[in-house]
């Protein structure tokens, strides 16, 4: 997983690591959130023009993504 990978890819990769499975074995992230919007709003610029976060459930985990592109999985 590289820092330049889209946020949605980094997120699925991290959860697959936690689960001990391959990313393709997880349900599609698109089933619970619009990945284009997620990547566009939270995965881009080093200097975001807004603040905020979004939380959702994916593959049994609570996921919170901040405006900086950082995410927490619990």
Distance CA 6, CA 43 (A): 6
Distance CA 47, CA 25 (A): 34
Is 60 a residue whose pLDDT tops 70?
A: yes
> Is residue 56 helix, strand or coil?
strand
Count of structural domains within the chain: 1
71 pLDDT tier (thresholds 50, 70, 90): very high
Is 72 a residue whose pLDDT tops 80?
A: yes
**pLDDT at residue 63, rounded to an integer:** 98
**Residue 18, domain member (yes or no):** yes
**Residue 35, domain member (yes or no):** yes
**Residue 45, domain member (yes or no):** yes
Question: Looking at residues 39-67, what average pLDDT do you find?
Answer: 86
**Residue 2, domain member (yes or no):** no
Question: Looking at residues 50-63, what average pLDDT do you find?
Answer: 94
Which residue range(s) make up the domain with 62?
7-73
18 pLDDT tier (thresholds 50, 70, 90): very high
């Amino acid at each position: 997983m590289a820092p330049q990978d889209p946020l949605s890819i980094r997120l699925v990769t991290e959860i697959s690591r936690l689960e001990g499975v391959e990313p393709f074995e997880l349900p599609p992230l698109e089933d619970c959130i619009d990945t284009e919007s997620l990547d566009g709003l939270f995965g881009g610029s080093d200097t975001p023009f807004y603040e905020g976060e979004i939380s959702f459930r994916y593959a049994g985990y609570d996921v919170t993504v901040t405006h900086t592109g950082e995410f927490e999985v619990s």
